[in-house]
Amino acid sequence: MLNYDLVVIGGGPAGLAAAVEAKKNGIDSILIIERDRELGGILNQCIHSGFGLHEFKEELAGPEYAQRFIDQVNELGIEYILNTMVIELNKDKEIIALSEDGLINIGAKSIVLAMGCRERTAGAVAMNGYRPAGVYTAGMAQRMMNMEGLMVGKEVVIYGSGDIGLIMARRMTLEGAKVKCVVEISPQSSGLNRNIAQCLNDYDIPLYLSHNINKVHGKEKIEGVTICKVDEKWQPIKGTEQYFSCDTLLLSIGLIPENELTVNAGIEIGEVTNGPKVKSNMETSMEGVFSCGNVLHVHDIVDFVTKESRVAGKNAADYIKGINDSDGKKLFETEAGNGVSYVIPNYVVSGGKDGANLYFRSRKPYKKVEVKVLIGDKVIKTKKMPAMIPSEMVNIPLSPEEIANLNDKIKVEVKEIGK
Amino acid sequence: MENKKEFTCIVCPVGCHLTVTKEENQYNVNGNTCKRGEIYAQQEMIAPKRNIASTIRVEDGFLNLVPVKTDKQIPKEMIFDVMKEINKYRVTAPIKVGDILIENILGTGSNIVATRNIAKNN
C-alpha cells in the first residue's frame, strides 16, 4: 500500500488549488489522483474567456486558468497520477484506485474530495419519442468540438438554458452550424445574463422561455423536435406546438455533483446541494476528509471554486499537523431563510480561526434586495444588491471576530426592498 | 440612431442591466456598477466589439487542436471573417500558452494567441 499525508481526489481547479494550498502550508507528501489524461478538469474544454476576473483581475480562457495552477503544481513538485479512477474510499481513509498498472491501494492521513460534477443526460428529462443518435449533452459536444476537433452537427436545437448550452450555441454558430433555438422550461433562463446577451442575442438565436420539448422525432438519427409552451405547472398548452427540424439536440439541463465515493464512504450528504455536508473549515462528516468545488455544490464561477478550495487545502494541512479547527468546538448549523435555496457551509465552527465564507443562491429572481445574515434574531451583516438570480452564487465572508462567540444558528435571508 | 438603448453588460458575470441615453454628442450610461461597464456601453453604441475564442489544428501535438483567443477585441461585424481566417491555419507543436499564432488578424490590430500548452507527441 502507498501512503501519503494528503490525497486529493480530482485534478480539476478545486483539487489543484487545494493541493497547492496544502503544500504552501507545509505538507510535502501529497498525491493528486486524476481520471483524465491530463490535469485541469473541465476547464480544458472551456475555451471561451471570462475566467479569473476575481482571482487574477484579468479575463482568461478556461485552459489558461487551469495552466496557472498546473504550473504551480509542477513548480512545487506535487505528485500526481493520471488515467486513474478512484473506485472506493473507506472509513479508514483508504483508497482503492484503478490505474494503468491495475488496482492500487493508497492510505492517507487526510483526503480532499474534489471530484467535480457531471451533466444530467437525456434519461433525466421527460420527452416523448426515442433517444436517437444526435442527442448530446452540451459539455460532451464542447469536448468533442474544442478538444477532439469533431463537429457534432449542422442544425441544432438546445434544450435548457444553462451556461454551457448558451456558450455552445455561440460556439456552434461560429463553426458554421445553424442554431435554431434554445428551449427553456422555466420562465427565466438558468444561465448568466451576460451569456444570453453575448451568446444568443449577438447571433439572433431565439430563446423560448416557458417551453418544453414534448417530442423527439426520429428513431435511428434525430430528425427534429416539437416544442410547446407550458403553463406555470409545466404542463403543455395545446395548440402552441412548433416543429423544428434538426440533426443535433444539445442538452444543458443541469449538473449533478459526482458523489458515489462520498455516499459509499458513509459521508453525510446535503439534500439541496447533493454534495457532502461541510463545516466552515470544509471538513465533511468524516474526520480529516475535506471537500471543495463542484462536488460540494455546483458553482458558476471558477474563482469561487479556487477560494473555497484553498480553505479545504489549508485545513487539510492543519489536520495533518494535528490541528483540527473543528475539534472540540461547537458547531452551529446554517439555515437557508426566506428566498434562499441553500447555504454552504452547512455548519459554522464557533471561534473558527479563518472565519467562515458563506455561499448561497436565491430561490427565484429578485430585483433590489437586501441580504441579511443573522445569528439567532440578531442581524450581523447586510448586503444590498440591485438584483439576485438563482444562477448567480453570492458570497458573504464572516470574519473570525464575527463568529468568535457563536451561540445560535446562522441564517441567511433575502428581502425585497422595492424601487 | 435612437436616443435610448437598453442592454445587458457582458464585461463580467454580474451582467448589469444598462440604459444608455444620448445627449448631444455624449452617451450617458445608467445601471452600471463599475467603470468598465460605462466604457463597454459607450463602445457598444459607437462600434460594438467582441473577443472570440476558437481552435486551430495542430500537427504533431498531444492534442489535434489548440484553443486560441483574440488578444484585443475585434469589430463585431468581422467575427465570421476572422473565424474563416483562423480556420485556414495549421500550426505545429510544441505550443506555449500566450504564443502568437496569427499576427494582426485581417488588420484588426488583434493577434490570435494560444490559450494552452500543447506538448509534442512522443
C-alpha cell at position A112: 480532499
C-alpha cell at position A406: 457563536
CA dist., res. B53 & res. A112, Å (int):
33
Output the pTM of the full model: 0.93
Q: Give this complex's ipTM.
A: 0.91
* Tens digit of pLDDT at every position of chain A (419 positions): 999 999 999 999 999 999 999 999 999 999 999 999 999 999 999 999 989 988 999 889 999 999 999 999 999 999 999 999 999 999 999 999 999 999 999 999 999 999 999 999 988 888 899 999 999 999 999 999 999 999 999 999 999 998 899 999 999 999 999 999 999 999 988 888 889 999 999 999 999 999 999 999 999 999 999 999 999 999 999 999 999 999 999 999 999 999 999 999 999 999 999 999 999 999 999 999 999 999 999 998 999 999 999 999 999 999 999 998 888 888 999 999 999 999 999 999 998 888 999 999 999 888 889 999 999 889 999 999 888 888 889 999 999 999 988 889 999 999 998 75
Q: Do A193 and B8 touch (CB under 8 A)?
A: yes
**Contact residues on chain B for A192, CB-CB shorter than 8 A:** 13, 15
CA dist., res. A151 & res. A100, Å (int):
30
Q: Do A61 and B69 touch (CB under 8 A)?
A: yes
> Are the C-beta atoms of residues A18 and A310 closer than 8 Å to each other?
yes
Q: Is B20 on the interface with A (CB under 8 A)?
A: no
Strand order in the sheet with A178-183: A135-137, A248-251, A155-159, A178-183, A207-208
Q: Do B10 and A198 touch (CB under 8 A)?
A: yes
Q: Do B76 and A202 touch (CB under 8 A)?
A: yes
> Minimal CA–CA distance to A334: which of A317, A318, A358, A305?
A358
**Distance, C-alpha A218 to centroid of its chain:** 33
The radius of gyration of chain A from alpha carbons, rounded to an integer in Å, stands at: 22
Q: Is A47 on the interface with B (CB under 8 A)?
A: yes
Tell me the three-class secondary structure of A204-266, residue by residue.
CCCEECCEEEEEEECCCECCEEEEEEECCCCCECCCCCEEEECCEEEECCCEEECCHHHHHCC
* Tens digit of pLDDT at every position of chain B (122 positions): 567 888 888 887 777 888 888 888 788 888 888 888 888 888 888 899 999 999 999 999 999 999 999 999 999 999 999 999 999 999 999 999 999 999 999 999 999 999 999 999 87
**Contact residues on chain B for A197, CB-CB shorter than 8 A:** 7-10, 15
